Amino acid sequence: MAPPAIPDTVLPLPETRGTRHTVSPSARVSPSTRVPPTAPPAIPDTALPLPEARGTRHTVSPSPRVSPSTRVPPTAPPAIPDTALPLPEARGTPMANVFTAQPLELGKPNTLICQVGNLFPASVTVSWQRLGEPVSQGVNTTRYYPTEELGFLLFSYLEFIPQEGDIYTCTVTRPRDRFSTVAYWVPQNPIPSELLENALCGLAIALGIFFMVTGIVLLLKSRRPSPTE
């Protein structure tokens, strides 16, 4: 059987409930017609004024432009004069004193001490001599010690073995001075070690005998009968 024929008439759309919107058909543009693009609005050359600053105004001047070919020469450091700075004024003459660290005994190792005081500025040289010949072995010099008189004190040590007839000299020289301070040391009344031991033994024996005799005498007097009895 053949299907039933569909009529050419279009059925009406159902009515829309609510607000109706009318859409206008768009205009048809032919392919040969082209719409020119819209140019952007021109920007005026004048810059907008800056807002006024509140407070103090500072004007900054533009720095000059230096071309690449122009080179600024480096600044040379200030020249240092060759002349040395003057030393502070010296106060008085250095004073030296020489003595031994231990009691003097000929032939026994000892140490000579050279004490140098009244120094200002703290710049001196200490040297030793024995019988006029320089001595460098066994010499040790300390640092400078400040004193209450706004000066400095220095010690120099010399290890030696005292012999009869020795003469030691401690010489203190200060820069730019035409003179030096000299202190001498010679053995004064040295006592040989063996003689000292013998003297001490003899003195101890003499004291022992004296106290022994004194005790015997007192004992005899205490036992003697009195004349009244």
Please list the pLDDT of the chain residue by residue as tens digits (229 residues): 565 665 555 555 555 555 555 545 544 545 555 556 666 666 666 555 665 656 555 555 555 565 555 566 677 777 766 565 555 555 678 899 999 999 888 889 999 999 999 888 888 999 999 999 999 999 999 999 998 888 899 999 999 999 888 999 999 998 777 788 999 999 886 655 566 667 778 888 888 888 888 888 888 877 776 665 5
Give domain status of residue 46, yes or no.
no
147/157 Cα distance (integer angstroms): 20
Domain of 105, CATH number, reads: 2.60.40.10
Q: How many residues are recorded in the chain?
A: 229
Is the bond leading into 64 cis (omega within 30 degrees of zero)? no
173 and 158, same structural domain? yes
Alpha carbon distances (Å) from 17 to 24, 72, 79, 81, 225: 20, 89, 104, 110, 171
Residue 126: per-residue pLDDT: 94
123 and 99, same structural domain? yes
Give domain status of residue 146, yes or no.
yes
How many structural domains are present in the chain?
A: 2
Residue 47: per-residue pLDDT: 55
Give domain status of residue 105, yes or no.
yes
Residue 122 domain boundaries: 95-185
Residue 164: per-residue pLDDT: 87
C-beta separation of 127 from 141 below 8 A:
no
Give domain status of residue 4, yes or no.
no
142 and 207, same structural domain? no
133/127 Cα distance (integer angstroms): 11
122/36 Cα distance (integer angstroms): 100
Give domain status of residue 56, yes or no.
no
Give domain status of residue 72, yes or no.
no
Place of tokens 């004291």: 207
128 and 105, same structural domain? yes
Residue 29: per-residue pLDDT: 47
Task: Name the token pair of 160.
Answer: 């030696």
142 and 116, same structural domain? yes
Give domain status of residue 77, yes or no.
no
C-beta separation of 112 from 160 below 8 A:
yes
98/67 Cα distance (integer angstroms): 76
Q: Is 202 left (phi over 0), alpha (psi -120 to 50) or beta?
A: alpha
